Amino acid sequence: MYRPRLLIDGDTLRLEEILQVAHNEVIVELSPEAQACVRASRELVDRVAAGDTPSYGINTGFGTLAEVRIDKKDLRELQRNLILSHAAGVGAPMPIPEARALLLLRCNVLAKGFSGIRLETLQLALDMLNKDVVPVVPERGSVGASGDLAPLAHLALVFIGEGEAFYQGHRMPARQALERAGLTPVVLEAKEGLALVNGTQAMCAVGSLLQLRAEMLSLVADIAGSMTLEGLLGSHKPFIPEIQDVRPHEGQKACAAHLRRLLAGSDLVETHINCSKVQDPYSLRCMPQVHGAAREGLAFARRILEVEVNSATDNPLVFVDSGRIVSGGNFHGQPISLAMDVAAMALTQLSSISERRVEQLVNPTLSNLPPFLAKNSGLNSGFMIAQVTSAALVAESRVLCHPASVDSIPSSAGREDHVSMGMTAALKGRQVADFTRTCLAIEILVASQALDYRLPVKAGRGPRAAHELVRSRVPTMEKDRELHRDIEAVSQLIDSGELMRVVRAATA
C-alpha cells in the first residue's frame, strides 16, 4: 500500500501528522537540514567526550550521582546502564498508536540537533517506525520530572536489542522484532542513552491523540445536543448571533454558529412557535456557553501541545553555535500536565451537560414524552438505565478531574524535588475521553428515540442526518432489549468518524 512521505525537522510537526503516523499512514524521513544539525551536534559531543572536563551525562553519573566521574573506557556501559536501570515502568502497554506517536515525537526532538545523538541511532528509530517495529512501553511509572524517564527508557531498550516490541502488531522480544524487520541494534555511545530518555514525549504522545479526539468530541456534543433540542421541541433563539456578539468568547460564538448550521432546515421548530413555554432548561439553552467554554479549554491545550511537540526537552542541551553543553529544565512536564488537566475538565463539562439532557429526555414531567421513551412503559423500562449509566460515567469523570498538575512527590534523593505528574494527567484525560464518548453515544441513542416520536415532521439537517445514520444501525426500540449493544453501535459511529462525516455532508 502506498504511503506518502512525512519529512520531520524538529520544528514543524503538526498534531494531525502525529495522528497519521500513529495509524501508520505515512513514511517518516529526516529532512536534509535536520541531518546536518544532528551531525554537528554529535561532533561537539564527541569532542567533549574525548576531553577530561566533566560534562553531565557524558562523562558523569545521572541525577544525584551527577558529581561521580566516569572513566572513558566505561562510557558505553554508562549509557547502557542508564537505559536498563530506568526501564522500571509497570502496567499495561501503551496502545500501539500511542507508542508509535511516542517514537515519532522522540525522533522529532532528536531531529532538532540539540541532543547529541548519532545520526545512525536516529535513523534506526525512523526505520523502526517505517517497518512497524513498535516498542512495548508500560503506561505507568513516569512522574514527569526529567520528563518521562521510565516510558522513554522502555522505548530505548529496543534500540539496543533489549525489552519487547510489537512487530506488525505481534508482541515478541525486541531483538527478534528487529531481526524480522531487517534491522540491527545499536551500541550507544557517550550521551546517547541520556538523549533517548530525557523529555516529555510520552505525555505528549498520549496528550496529542487525546487532544484530537477531544476536539472531535466537542463537535459531537453539538450534534447530540441539537438532536435532543429537536426531540424536546426546544427553541433555536438562544443561538442567534446577537446573543453571542454581546459576550464574544470565541468558543461560545463557534458553538452557536455550529448549532445554527445543524438546526437549519428544521420543520420541527415551526410546530411550537406559539407554545406556552417561555424558556428551555440550561442544558439546552446554554449549550453555546458550556460547550464553548470546553472549546476554549481545548484551544489552550492545543496551543501548549503544538509548542511542546516541536521543543527541545533534553538535558543537557547541546548548543553548537556557542560550543556549550548546558544543563537546564526543559524536560519538566508542567505545561503539558496543566494542559491535560484542563482537557479532562473540558471533556467532563461536555459529558455532564449531556447527562442532564438525557434526563430531560427520559423524564416525562420534563419532556411530555412517554416515560423513559418506552413504548408500553411499565411493561418496558425503555432508556431508564441508559441515564443511570451516563450518570455513573460523569461521576467517575469528576473524580478523574482532580488535578495531577498540582501534585508533586520528590524523587531522585531530592534532586528532582518538584515533579509535574504530566503522564498521570494525560492518562486520566484519555480515560475521561472514553467516558465522554460513551455519554454522548447514550444521548444520541436516546435522542434518536425522541425524534422517532416527532416523525413525520423533520428535524434540522444535522440532527436529521445523525438520526437517519443511527437508525441504519440501531432500530427504534419497540420493546426492551440489551442496551449495551446499542450504546456500543453508536460509540463506533463516533469513533470511526462516520457520524461527523455524514453530518458535515448534510450541513455543508
What is the pairing mode between strands 27-30 and 164-167? unpaired
Residue 56 annotated among the catalytic residues of the structure: yes
What is the spatial distance between Cα 427 and Cα 333, in angstroms, rounded to a whole number?
14
Q: Are 163 and 87 in contact (CB under 8 A)?
A: yes
Which residue(s) pair with 138 in the sheet?
93
Contacts of 158 (CB under 8 A, 6+ apart): 128, 133, 135, 164, 165, 174, 177, 178, 185
What is the spatial distance between Cα 69 and Cα 81, in angstroms, rounded to a whole number?
15
Annotated catalytic residue: which of 2, 56, 167, 282?
A: 56
Contacts of 71 (CB under 8 A, 6+ apart): none
Cell of 216: 472531535
Q: Are 397 and 351 in contact (CB under 8 A)?
A: yes
Residue given cell 425522541 in the structure block = 450
Our separate counts of H helices and E strands in the chain read: 20, 9
What is the spatial distance between Cα 166 and Cα 173, in angstroms, rounded to a whole number?
8
Q: Are 228 and 113 in contact (CB under 8 A)?
A: no
Ramachandran angles phi, psi of 91, nearest 5°: 95, -175
Give the helix, strand, coil percentages of the chain, each rounded to 5.
60, 10, 30
Cell of 287: 449549550
Burial (CB count within 10 angstroms: exposed 0-12, middle 13-18, buried 19+), residue 419: buried
Contacts of 501 (CB under 8 A, 6+ apart): none
Q: Which among 222, 249, 150, 217 has a CA at the least distance from the CA of 397?
A: 217
Cell of 116: 547529541
Q: Which among 146, 247, 235, 160 has a CA at the least distance from the CA of 197?
A: 146
Residue given cell 419497540 in the structure block = 478
Residue 410 DSSP class: -
**Catalytic (active-site) positions:** 56
